[in-house]
Amino acid sequence: MGSKYFDIRTLPGFAFVAMVTFFLLYLPIAALVAYAFNAGSSISDWEGFSFRWFASAWQNTAVQDAAMRSLVIAVVASTIATAAATTAALATTRTNAYRGLTFKYAFINTPLMVPEIVTAVALLIVFSRVKIWTGYSGLGYLIAAHTAFCIPFAYLPIRARLESMDSSLERAAQDLYATPWMTFRRVTMPLLRPGIIAGFMLAFVISLDDVVITEFVKSGGQDTLPTYMLGQLRRETTPEVNAIATVFLALSVLLVTAFFFINRRKA
């Protein structure tokens, strides 16, 4: 008797196609990482193994400034975005269904579907007028832009966590005369914490490696690490860019892996 459920892995050639796909996907990344350890100045000719370009990037003051600026923007923006996403997720899940709820859900997630270049141009137009009116040209614009863009990314895992939680625990707390704040602090928040952490980390990674919005919104002297790397590629390409990208890759893999495991945690 045949299997009850269809399994695509049993199709002829599936394993071969999957292996070719993964090979083509990760070969450029593997080449980038390999040439980060190149002793020479070429990104195409191997001249021996060395940590030279990692040391060069570490001692480069421009890289240090851009890296610190990227971290500050990513931490502040992802913190604000996660707080806003948490309140939005609570408002759209811990309520009875009503007309317009689906629209609100779609509205929150609209930035995920709108091309990033459209968002970048819109923010450029708005912030350029604000700069003229206020005279302020600091990092606040980048933080505001990254926050707005990261909210949907933080919202999705938080909402998913709320939807998977057993609401009977919150109702039981209310039946025992707990106030809404006490119910949230003692019941909802501890169960929701893995989703909040996952949402924060996802927003952090998105903010940390954003190029398009940052390139449009930033003022002079406000390069983040991705925009600094883009500028270097336009002028002179050395394995130092590979070294920076390799560190970025390692950090992203670490955070995404942590996001995966935290998001799998049970209540």
Is the overall model pTM greater than 0.85, yes or no? no
198: amino acid identity, one letter? A
Structure tokens at 155: 């919202």
Q: What are the tens digits of pLDDT across the range 204-260?
A: 989 988 889 999 998 878 889 888 888 877 777 778 888 888 888 888 788 778 767
- Averaged pLDDT for residues 111-127: 88
**Are 113 and 149 spatial neighbours (Cβ–Cβ below 8 Å)?**
no
Q: What are the tens digits of pLDDT across the range 140-194?
A: 999 999 999 999 999 998 998 888 877 777 778 777 777 778 888 888 888 888 8
State the pLDDT confidence band at 72, using cuts at 50, 70 and 90. Answer: very high
Please name the fold of domain 62-263: MetI-like fold (1.10.3720)
CA 115 to chain centre: 16
Q: How far apart are CA 132 and CA 136, in angstroms?
A: 8
Q: How far apart are CA 201 and CA 132, in angstroms?
A: 34
- Could you tell me which of 115, 116, 124 has the C-alpha nearest to residue 217? 124
Residue 91 phi/psi, 5-degree rounding, is: -70, -25
**Residue 215: partners with Cβ closer than 8 Å, 6 or more residues away:** 120, 227, 230
Q: What is the pLDDT of residue 265?
A: 58
Q: What is the pLDDT of residue 115?
A: 87
Q: Is 21 exposed, middle or buried (0-12, 13-18, 19+ CB in 10 A)?
A: exposed
* Rg, the chain, Cα only: 23
Q: How far apart are CA 7 and CA 234, in angstroms?
A: 47
pLDDT at 1 over 50: no
Structure tokens at 17: 């196609």
- Averaged pLDDT for residues 35-62: 84
- Averaged pLDDT for residues 120-141: 89
